[in-house]
Amino acid sequence: MSEGRIAVVTGAARGIGRTIGDCLVATGYTVIGVDVSDQLAETDFDPVQADLTTDGGLDAVSERVDTIDGNLHLLVNNAGITRDARLVNMARDEFTAVLEVNLGAVFRLSTRLRDDIVTGGSIVNMASRAYLGNFGQFNYSMSKGGVVGLTRAMALELAPRVRVNAIAPGLIATEMSMGIPDDIRGKMVDAIPMGRMGEPDEIADTVLFLAGAGYITGHVIVVDGGRSLSR
């Protein structure tokens, strides 16, 4: 039971974040769902429509945390974007947009909320298996590698009070991955030993596990159906 427990989940309007939020609500958390999208209105979350790359957006989240009843136990930094391009073609705004959302917002929101998280609480950051390097995803791979470094450094700084971990999903069935052209996505699935894409609830299960795993900090759990193995 998670009576009086608050979780903040970013990117909660759809995809992995939406499923994480739903699973947390089902286990008794009150979920502050943060997203730039107005689709939050359709959820069971306490909604904060905010762009996490802006000071106003960050202010809106911390104000909600300050005023809501209960204690902040969990921050899930899940919001993320892609602007795929090979290095030679990448425009400056594609480079900075991905770093600002995927890495900058994780750093800024964690810094803002770290003192609000109760002793024994934790942060879970959404990295990606792409941090190992994905062709055509230079900016994205770089941002997710940054998330791994941030997770490990922040785990040291916040221990022993608050744990910080990351999840590195492989290909998960959401609107983001369905944006990949069918032929390319088909080849990606062929390279997955488990023979299928992952489901958002398989990532949500890992968030729930990490939230309760009191002796795991600074770790990255790869949830990729074996994609990182060599055959």
Q: Which is nearer to ligand NAD, 60 or 213 (CB)?
A: 60
Q: Which are the contacts of 132, defined by CB distance < 8 A and separation ≥ 6?
A: 141, 228
- Considering only CA atoms, which of 76, 218, 104 is closest in space to residue 159? 218
Given 6, 8, 9, 13, the residue binding ligand NAD (CB under 6 A):
13
Among 2, 30, 43, 78, binds ligand NAD (CB under 6 A): 78
Q: If binding is defined by CB under 6 A, does position 22 make contact with ligand NAD?
A: no
43-48 LR contacts (CB < 8 Å, sep 24+): 43/12, 43/13, 43/18, 45/9, 45/12, 45/21
Q: Is 140 a catalytic residue?
A: yes
Residue 37 near ligand NAD by CB under 6 A: yes
Contact 93, 43 (CB under 8 A): no
Does the protein bind ligand NAD through residue 47 (CB under 6 A)?
Answer: no
Q: Closer to ligand NAD by CB, 13 or 207: give it.
A: 13
Tokens, residue 129: 């298996």
89 counts as binding ligand NAD under rule CB under 6 A: no
Q: How many residues lie near ligand NAD (CB under 6 A)?
A: 27
Which of the stretches 25-33, 113-121, 150-158, 173-181 binds ligand NAD when contact is defined by CB under 6 A?
Answer: 173-181
If binding is defined by CB under 6 A, does position 176 make contact with ligand NAD?
A: yes
Which residue stretch of 63-71, 79-87, 112-120, 208-216 sits at the interface with ligand NAD (rule: CB under 6 A)? 79-87
In the block, which residue shows the tokens 């080849």?
A: 187
Asked if residue 63 lies in contact with residue 116, where contact means CB atoms within 8 angstroms, the answer is no
Nearer to ligand NAD, 13 or 150 (CB): 13
What contacts 133, CB < 8 A, 6 or more positions away? 141
Q: Does the protein bind ligand NAD through residue 52 (CB under 6 A)?
A: yes
**Phi then psi dihedrals of residue 64, to 5 deg:** -65, -40
Beta-bridge mates of residue 168: 222
- Smaller CB separation from ligand NAD, 113 or 171: 171
Q: Which of 29, 131, 140, 215 is catalytic?
A: 140
**Closer residue to ligand NAD in complex, CB, 90/132:** 132
* Residue 28 C-beta-side C-alpha neighbours within 13 Å: 8
Both structure tokens of 110: 């964690």
94 binds ligand NAD (CB under 6 A): no
How far is the C-alpha of 174 from the C-alpha of 56, rounded, in Å?
Answer: 28
Tell me which residues are annotated as active site.
140
Interface residues toward ligand NAD, by CB under 6 A:
10-11, 13-17, 35-37, 51-53, 78-81, 101, 126, 128, 169, 171-172, 174-177
